[in-house]
């Protein structure tokens, strides 16, 4: 089954691919990402290109990571259900509860698919908000932009953690483990480069993360 064969997937969870922010500048940076990723050098691919604005770089990559996780999880929606995954967990030690701080202030226990549905909707709303992710070149980013990015990526990591702990065998069966591992390696190297996720948050996949950082 192809990773991109998502026609029959749960469309509530799988969302259309987001385009890069910031007009032509965002597209230029996206091309740079694709080119450096194509070289196979992921460490080089995550570095801030010379002369580029850090917020622009964070914005384009955040959209990219949203799309990657969205597509990866989209291959598992028929296997990750409220019956198979009644909680959003990453092994026996880690369970994630949902809260967005606005409509849901007290963290609530939800199934894994419901958590991902809430998460993707919450991220998408921010990506679509031009006061947070400006579309026009030269429009300033908000002062709290780094904090917004950190929260988005911290929560996207939780989807990776759930996939590895609960669905890795299915990923292997679908012959998509190489793609999953490459996406996750790119994610880890980027978040590590810019110190975007606290080490404690990475604990559910600590061994994988350390092997990525050491190679």
pLDDT band at 136 (very low <50, low <70, confident <90, very high): confident
Q: Select from 1.20.140.30, 1.10.20.140, 1.10.1370.30, 3.90.1560.10 the CATH code of 23-202.
A: 1.20.140.30
- The answer, yes or no, to whether residue 139 has pLDDT greater than 90, is no
For residue 95, what is the enclosing H or E element? strand 95-96
* E strands in 48-127: 88-89, 95-96
Q: Would you say how long the chain is, in residues?
A: 215
With bands split at pLDDT 50, 70 and 90, how would you rate the model's confidence at 119? very high
Maximal C-alpha separation, the chain: 50
How far apart (Å, rounded) are the C-alpha atoms in residues 33 and 26?
11
3-state class (DSSP) for residue 126:
helix
127 with 59: CB under 8 angstroms?
no
Place of tokens 């969205």: 70
Q: What gap in Å lies between CA 167 and CA 8, rounded to an integer?
A: 19
The region of weakest confidence among 2-6, 108-112, 115-119 is 2-6
pTM of the model: 0.84
Angle value at C-alpha 182, between 180 and 184, nearest 5 degrees: 70
pLDDT tier at 17 (50, 70, 90 boundaries)? low
Summarised one tens digit per residue, pLDDT across range 76-94 is: 999 999 999 999 999 999 9
150 HSE (CA, 13 A, CB side): 13
138-175 b/e (C-beta count within 10 Å ≥ 16 → b): eeebeeebbebbbbbbebbbbbbbbbbbbbeebbeebe
Q: What is the pLDDT of residue 85?
A: 97
Cα 23 to Cα 90: distance, rounded to the nearest angstrom: 37
Question: Facing residues of 199 across strands?
Answer: none
Asked if the model's pLDDT at residue 172 lies above 50, the reply is yes
In terms of Cβ atoms closer than 10 Å to its own Cβ (0-12, 13-18, 19+), residue 195 is exposed
- The pLDDT assigned to 102 comes to 79
């Amino acid at each position: 089954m192809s990773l991109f064969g998502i026609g029959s997937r749960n469309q509530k969870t799988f969302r259309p691919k987001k385009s890069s922010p910031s007009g032509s500048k965002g597209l230029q940076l996206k091309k740079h990402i694709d080119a450096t990723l194509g070289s196979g050098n992921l460490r080089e691919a995550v570095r801030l290109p010379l002369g580029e604005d850090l917020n622009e770089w964070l914005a384009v990559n955040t959209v990219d990571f949203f799309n990657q996780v969205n597509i990866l999880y989209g291959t598992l929606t028929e296997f990750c259900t409220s019956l198979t995954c009644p909680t959003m967990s990453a092994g026996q030690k880690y369970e994630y509860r949902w809260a967005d701080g606005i409509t849901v202030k007290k963290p609530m226990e939800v199934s894994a698919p419901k958590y991902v549905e809430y998460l993707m909707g919450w991220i998408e709303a921010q990506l679509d908000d031009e006061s947070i992710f400006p579309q026009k070149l030269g429009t300033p980013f908000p002062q709290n932009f780094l904090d917004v990015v950190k929260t988005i990526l911290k929560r996207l990591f939780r989807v990776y953690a759930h996939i590895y702990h609960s669905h890795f065998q299915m990923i292997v069966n679908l012959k998509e483990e190489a793609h999953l591992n490459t996406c996750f390696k790119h994610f880890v190297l980027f978040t590590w480069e810019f110190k975007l996720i606290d080490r404690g948050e990475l604990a559910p996949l600590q061994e994988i993360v350390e092997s990525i950082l050491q190679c």
